[in-house]
Structure formats: structure tokens, C-alpha cells
Amino acid sequence: MELTQFTMSLPENLWFSMNMKADELMLAMRKEYGMKLYQTGQLTLSQSADFCGMSLYEFVSLLTLSAVPVIDYSTDELESEFKYLSKQMK
């Protein structure tokens, strides 16, 4: 899988205020945005876990701790998720 990287610039006073290292901020942003992409249906559960750099189990735990419903699938979405998972397991 090919990865795309990007950079982000923030004013120095924000870095100081957040008291976070760049990698901590990136991880926090990936988790928050990954959950949002899942909630809005833009990514499946498995895709969102991949986006966050987490296992499916870790991502489900994150959703649960954040009070985000884990299962909210239509029949078509559930079928698509199973197809995606079966491809990932090969």
C-alpha cells in the first residue's frame, strides 16, 4: 500500500499551549478524524481502524470509550464490510 505524507504548520505559541509532541498530536488527530469519518459513513469500521493505525479491536475500544456507536450498518454496508475484511485476511 502506498502512503501519502503531508506536513502541517502551526504557530509556535499553539505548540507551547498544547504541551504535545508532534507525533502525539498527529496520533490524536488521526484518532479523532478516523472516528468522524466512521460516524459520517465515509469509511467503514475496518478502513477507519486502518486510518487510525489501530487494530480493529483497538478501534472498537476507542469508539466505545468515546460513546460512538460501533454498529450502525444497513444490510448493504454490512455486506461491503465483510467483503473488505475477507480481502484483508488473504
Q: Quick check: is 57 in a domain?
A: yes
Owning domain of residue 61: 12-88
Q: What is the pLDDT, as a whole number, of residue 1?
A: 67
* 70 belongs to a structural domain: yes
Domain presence at residue 3: no
What would the pLDDT profile of 16-54 be if each residue is shown by its tens digit? Answer: 788 888 889 889 999 999 999 999 999 999 999 999 999
pLDDT at 68 over 80: yes
The answer on pLDDT for 77 being more than 90 is no
Residue 32 counted as domain residue: yes
20 lies in a domain?
yes
> What is the pLDDT at residue 30?
94
Number of structural domains (the chain) is 1
Percent of the chain's residues with pLDDT above 90: 47
Closest CA to 18 of 30, 29, 7: 29
Task: Kindly state whether residue 73 falls inside one of the protein's structural domains.
Answer: yes
Domain membership of residue 50 (yes or no) is: yes
pLDDT at 78: 83
